[in-house]
Chain A
Amino acid sequence: GAGVSQSPSNKVTEKGKDVELRCDPISGHTALYWYRQSLGQGLEFLIYFQGNSAPDKSGLPSDRFSAERTGGSVSTLTIQRTQQEDSAVYLCASRGSPHTTGELFFGEGSRLTVL
């Protein structure tokens, strides 16, 4: 597709389980962002990739969260030993421009519910 693709769109898991969320950015986009959004709230920055490297991981809430990006394309956000407070919509965005003034294109998000 032409846009940012995220999967799964919905994930229900039990507390303590691990989950993986996938983001397929727009082809050729070098910058990739992960954000977390709780119901009706703004976006909480998690991590940012430029190519395969992550210059800034300061937004990851705890060491249970990790993310990687391979081949400068697909990214995976992994949450280990999920907790109820991890429930949120996880949004991925990509940007084609090397400049930070460039537009971010967002996926529709992965809604995570931890029971």
Chain B
Amino acid sequence: TQLLEQSPQFLSIQEGENLTVYCNSSSVFSSLQWYRQEPGEGPVLLVTVVTGGEVKKLKRLTFQFGDARKDSSLHITAAQPGDTGLYLCAGVPTDSWGKLQFGAGTQVVVTP
């Protein structure tokens, strides 16, 4: 059983459409991070959210941390083929210092 549940597992959309990826847990996290991974490479950090209710924007990407610090979402506006990749959320539970755990990931494919 994953501590962090991501949904959907797979998302295929056309260029220009919007998409949202969710990351949920029953545990409380001191912070959550989102990474993107491309084939043959390690994940690369997109953002870190630390405050409940926090919203961060990174160009066309919007990240939200839930008020209770148990969930997060990633919204991409006007998706482009370059957004294709495996999106992973990761967090350290408040009762488990240092043990950064990842969700199973959402594979996003954006076709031209």
Contacts and interface: CB of A to CB of B under 8 A. Distances in A.
Contact of A103 (B48, B98, B104): B48
Contact of A100 (B41, B100, B103): B100
A35 B99 CA distance: 11
Interface in A74-115: 91, 93, 100-101, 103-109
Contact of A106 (B43, B99, B103, B105): B43
Contacts of B30: 100-101
Contacts of A59: 99
Band of interface residues on B: 20 to 34
Interface stretch (A13-21, A39-47, A63-71): A39-47
B42 interface: yes
Interface residues on A, range: 20 to 34
B99 A56 contact: yes
A7 interface: no
20 contacts: A33-B100, A35-B102, A40-B86, A42-B6, A45-B102, A48-B98, A50-B98, A91-B43, A100-B92, A100-B98, A101-B30, A101-B33, A103-B33, A104-B33, A104-B90, A104-B100, A105-B42, A106-B41, A108-B40, A108-B41
Interface of B: 2, 6, 30-31, 33, 35, 40-45, 48, 50, 86, 88, 90, 92, 96-105, 107
